[in-house]
């Protein structure tokens, strides 16, 4: 049988997962009852955020050829997933929005694909948009590939136009289906490079079954493997044996159990206890290791500790440092871009590819019933250099001035700017830490009409202190229940995060102070009731709605002396030192 192994690359929301849905439907790869939208986004967080987080495998058949498809994350923070996906394929399908054109996260994954020598097939999607400019976007895509150092062969890429949600793709004349896309994959994506010799496979992903144990996924580089046979596992610590308890290939959304699989196919092998990503599985008679997967180093870190607030243990099932450590070690087995360092007893430093990478992990832990506290994110320096991000903003022309001013104060350098139809699109390079807390400010400056996206750019000189937050925190100085009367009296100076009836503790952050300094406030005072009535004493209490912070917004808000308390039901900001008098004493001593 012939194979084609292809990864789909696209920026967030350019229609990648929707196109895969249509490919599966039209090739007959879906079983009855598997209809729907964004079928590959099976992870709850993926559906909620509208992004792909985990690389996933699927497969379909077209004219007797099996096409293995790997759906890759569009966000650079999930670079570990991208590296693994690209190690299994021989070509990439680059999907670009016909209006937006190549975006930052397209750059990141495309650069990785070009460095790996993969041949691109370009699809200009959403050509039915009113603002679509397909020919111009095709030219921009070519320019981007030149900028990223593509070879002459890679620059001579085939291209098609598509409307993914309608399941249509064509080169010259519009077609009612995706048949031209399937034919282009067969014609332009090379078959897998297969070597002669005994079985060899590099583990690119892991899964787990309560019945079959650990499952290793990867592409067979050479030879064949059979169910029931013993194979050699070449791990970091040495060589050992394992038995292939079950063997699966992919078809549609599921796995198909088979007796034998051959070189070029992407397979799943059950019974691989102790196997890790990057290990090589090989025939016992020829235990030769493939190069281990190389993943980019982490750029952002934050500190995670057990929850020590007065409300600790109320909502979580797993609250001890031992339980947290066990869960983090388990995560390390599949999350290759993550590092966990135990810096002190009960204190873990999580190092990842960006704020979103770490925020998704924290949200996952929270939903599993874990309770913990995290500190302010910080960047990791490398030989005295700090990580930089490539930022693209698209804003209304009337709002560009304030955005430019805010980015200037964060030491951003403009690379390119273009104007048209009342909007401005500009590219910047700036320190990664300059983006901490910027998204909320950006949405406020653009009245919600701006779009921003960014990706890792490289390392550069350390630029010294940055002013990323100009406001202080409003901190509760009394424990109790918040009253509308107190909130009303304070709301001119404070934007609150809580509403009347919220239980608070001493040291809990209840809002954002409009000035730079922190402010201790008492939100637990209620109006004294008397039997005396006077004009004006019963004025209506009208409260401004509280500002609801999500996990990422809360992480962005944090100051160095603050923590975010994360539980399955709540997110609370607090000071590290809860007692106001102790905090003042520490400030005087400069601690």
Per-residue pLDDT of the chain (591 residues; tens, 9 = 90+): 799 999 888 876 777 878 888 888 898 877 644 444 434 444 444 344 444 434 468 889 999 999 998 877 644 444 456 677 788 899 999 999 998 888 766 777 788 889 889 999 999 999 998 888 999 999 999 998 998 899 999 999 999 999 988 999 999 888 999 999 999 999 999 999 888 889 999 988 877 777 888 888 899 999 999 999 999 999 888 898 999 999 999 888 778 899 999 999 999 899 888 888 888 999 999 899 998 876 667 889 999 999 999 999 999 999 999 999 999 988 887 777 788 999 888 999 999 877 877 888 999 999 999 999 999 999 999 888 999 988 888 888 999 999 999 999 889 999 989 887 788 889 999 998 888 878 878 888 888 888 887 777 889 999 888 877 788 999 999 999 999 999 999 999 999 999 999 999 999 999 999 898 999 999 999 887 665 555 455 557 888 999 988 888 898 888 889 999 999 999 999 999 999 888 888 777 655
Q: Are 118 and 86 in contact (CB under 8 A)?
A: yes
Q: Which CATH superfamily does the domain covering 2-188 fall into?
A: P-loop containing nucleotide triphosphate hydrolases (3.40.50.300)
Q: Are 302 and 350 in contact (CB under 8 A)?
A: yes
CATH number, span 304-379: 3.30.70.870
User: In which residue ranges of the chain is CATH 3.40.50.300 found?
Assistant: 2-188
User: In which residue ranges of the chain is CATH 2.40.50.250 found?
Assistant: 472-589
Residue 173 CA: distances (Å) to CA of 128, 188, 386, 489 = 14, 20, 49, 66
Task: Tell me what pLDDT residue 186 has.
Answer: 94
Q: Three-state secondary structure along 436-450? A: CCHHHHHHHHCCCCC
Contacts of 92 (CB under 8 A, 6+ apart): 6, 7, 8, 9, 86, 110, 113, 118, 119, 120, 121
Q: What share of the chain is helix, strand, coil (3-state, %, to 5)?
A: 25, 35, 40
Task: Tell me what pLDDT residue 295 has.
Answer: 67
Task: Tell me what pLDDT residue 14 has.
Answer: 72
Residue of 471, 474, 502, 505 whose CA lies nearest to 489: 474
Tokens 């998204």 -> residue: 439
Taking the C-alpha atoms of residue 81 and residue 423, their distance in angstroms, rounded to an integer, is 34
Ligand-binding annotation for 92, yes or no, is: no
CATH 3.40.1190.20 fits 200-283, yes or no: no
Ligand-binding annotation for 17, yes or no, is: yes
User: In which residue ranges of the chain is CATH 3.30.70.240 found?
Assistant: 385-461
> Which CATH number fits the domain 385-461, given the four candidates 3.30.70.240, 3.30.1180.10, 3.30.56.10, 3.90.45.10?
3.30.70.240
Task: Tell me what pLDDT residue 168 has.
Answer: 93
Considering Cα of 235, then 240, then 241, then 242, what sign does the dihedral take?
Answer: negative
User: In which residue ranges of the chain is CATH 3.30.70.870 found?
Assistant: 304-379
CATH number, span 472-589: 2.40.50.250
Task: Tell me what pLDDT residue 80 has.
Answer: 53
Task: Tell me what pLDDT residue 75 has.
Answer: 46
Ligand-binding annotation for 125, yes or no, is: yes
Ligand-binding annotation for 129, yes or no, is: no
Ligand-binding annotation for 14, yes or no, is: yes
Look at residue 357 and give its three-state secondary structure: helix
Name the maximum alpha-carbon separation found in the chain: 97
Q: Are 556 and 433 in contact (CB under 8 A)?
A: no
User: In which residue ranges of the chain is CATH 2.40.30.10 found?
Assistant: 200-283
Residue of 170, 160, 103, 99 whose CA lies nearest to 133: 99
Ligand-binding annotation for 126, yes or no, is: yes
Contacts of 336 (CB under 8 A, 6+ apart): 80, 83, 84, 277, 278, 293, 295
Task: Tell me what pLDDT residue 74 has.
Answer: 47
What is the b/e burial string over 186-203, where b = at least 16 CB atoms within 10 angstroms of the residue's CB? eeebeebeeeeebbbbbb
Ligand-binding annotation for 280, yes or no, is: no
344 burial type by CB count under 10 A (0-12 exposed, 13-18 middle, 19+ buried): exposed
Ligand-binding annotation for 128, yes or no, is: yes
| Full DSSP string of 287-332 | --PPPPPP-PPP-EEEEEEE--STTTTSS-SB-SHHHHHHHHHHHH
């Amino acid at each position: 049988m012939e194979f084609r192994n292809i990864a789909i690359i696209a920026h967030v929301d350019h229609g990648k997962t929707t196109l895969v849905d249509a490919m599966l439907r039209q090739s007959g790869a879906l079983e009855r009852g598997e209809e729907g939208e964004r079928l590959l986004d099976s992870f709850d967080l993926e559906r909620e955020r509208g992004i792909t987080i985990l690389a996933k495998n699927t497969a379909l058949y077209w004219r007797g050829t099996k096409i293995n498809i790997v759906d890759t994350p569009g966000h650079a923070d999930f670079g570990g997933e991208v590296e693994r996906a690209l190690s299994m394929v021989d070509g990439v399908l680059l999907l670009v929005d016909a209006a937006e054109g190549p975006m930052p996260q397209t750059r990141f994954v495309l650069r990785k694909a070009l460095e790996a020598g993969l041949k691109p097939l370009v699809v200009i999607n959403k050509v039915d948009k009113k603002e679509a400019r397909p020919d111009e976007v095709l030219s921009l895509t070519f320019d981007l590939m030149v900028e990223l150092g593509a070879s002459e062969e890679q620059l001579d890429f085939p291209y098609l136009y598509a409307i993914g949600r309608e399941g249509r793709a064509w080169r010259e004349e519009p077609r009612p289906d995706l048949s031209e896309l399937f034919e282009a994959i067969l014609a332009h994506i090379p078959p897998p490079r297969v070597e002669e010799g005994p079985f060899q496979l590099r583990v690119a992903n892991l899964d787990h079954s309560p019945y079959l144990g650990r499952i290793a996924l990867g592409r067979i580089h050479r030879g064949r493997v059979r169910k029931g046979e013993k194979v050699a596992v070449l791990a970091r610590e040495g060589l050992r044996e394992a038995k292939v308890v079950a063997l699966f290939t992919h078809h549609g959304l599921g796995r198909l159990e088979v007796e034998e699989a051959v070189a070029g196919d992407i397979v799943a092998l059950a019974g691989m206890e102790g196997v890790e990503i990057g290990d090589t599985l090989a025939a016992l008679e020829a235990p030769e290791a493939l190069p281990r997967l190389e993943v980019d180093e982490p750029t952002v870190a934050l500190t995670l500790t057990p929850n020590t607030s007065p409300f600790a243990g109320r909502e979580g099932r797993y609250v001890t440092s031992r339980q947290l450590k066990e869960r983090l070690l388990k995560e390390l087995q599949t999350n290759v871009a993550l590092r966990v360092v135990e810096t002190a007893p009960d204190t873990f430093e999580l190092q990842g590819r960006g704020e979103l990478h770490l925020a998704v992990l924290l949200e996952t832990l929270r939903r599993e019933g874990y309770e913990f506290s995290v500190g302010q994110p910080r960047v990791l320096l490398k030989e005295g250099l700090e990580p930089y991000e490539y930022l693209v903003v698209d804003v209304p022309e009337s709002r560009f001035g304030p955005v430019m001013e805010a980015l200037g104060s964060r030491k951003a350098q403009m690379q390119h700017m273009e104007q048209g139809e009342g909007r401005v699109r500009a590219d910047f390079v700036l320190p990664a830490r300059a983006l901490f807390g910027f998204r909320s400010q950006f949405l406020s400056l653009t009245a919600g009409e701006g779009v921003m996206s960014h990706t890792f750019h490289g390392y550069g000189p350390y630029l010294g202190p940055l002013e990323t937050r100009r406001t202080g925190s409003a901190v509760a100085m009394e424990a109790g229940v918040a009253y509308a009367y107190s909130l009303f009296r304070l709301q001119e100076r404070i934007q609150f995060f809580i509403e009347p009836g919220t239980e608070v503790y001493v040291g809990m952050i209840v809002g954002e102070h409009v000035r730079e300094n922190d402010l201790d406030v008492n939100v637990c005072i209620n109006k004294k009731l008397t039997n005396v009535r006077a004009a004006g004493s019963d004025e209506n209490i009208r409260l401004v709605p509280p500002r609801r912070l999500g996990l990422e917004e809360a992480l962005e808000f944090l100051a160095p002396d603050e923590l975010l308390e994360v539980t399955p039901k709540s997110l609370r900001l607090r000071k590290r030192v809860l007692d106001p008098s102790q905090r003042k004493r520490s400030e005087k001593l400069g601690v």
